[in-house]
Amino acid sequence: MIWLVCYDIASPKRLQKIGHYGEKFGIRLQKSVFQVDTDKETLQKLLAGIKELMNRKYDSLIIFLICEDCRRMIVIDGQNNLINPESMVIL
């Protein structure tokens, strides 16, 4: 399953920590948006780690599941695109 993990973090220090943590689980699409291709169990680990780093009083986190039907309806303009995990070759 593909998830979009989006966050808005008020502190530059927390922002950097969460960004580095997110890179362990997914691909950065934008500064505060990751594409994560994983099961719900691993997603829960990612969310638990982010929640430990963030301050709920000032920061926010939003997760979107991108289903197959939804992927066909995405409108993208510019340089970024969702990455198709099946088309990737990792060396």
Query: Which pLDDT does position 30 carry in this prediction?
Result: 86
Q: Which pLDDT band, with edges at 50, 70 and 90, does 91 fall under?
A: very low
Number of structural domains the chain divides into? 1
Domain of residue 55: give its range.
2-87
Q: What is the mean pLDDT of residues 8-19?
A: 95
Q: What is the DSSP string of 5-69?
A: EEEE-SSHHHHHHHHHHHTTTSEEEETTEEEEE--HHHHHHHHHHHHHHS-TTT-EEEEEEE-HH
Per residue in 29-87, pLDDT (tens digit) is: 888 999 898 999 999 999 999 999 999 999 999 999 988 777 666 666 666 555 555 54
Using alpha carbons, select from 79, 86, 61 the residue that is nearest to residue 6.
Answer: 61
- Region 12-36: mean pLDDT is 92
Instruction: CATH number of the domain at 80, please.
Output: 3.30.70.240
Q: What CA–CA distance (Å, rounded) separates 19 from 1?
A: 21
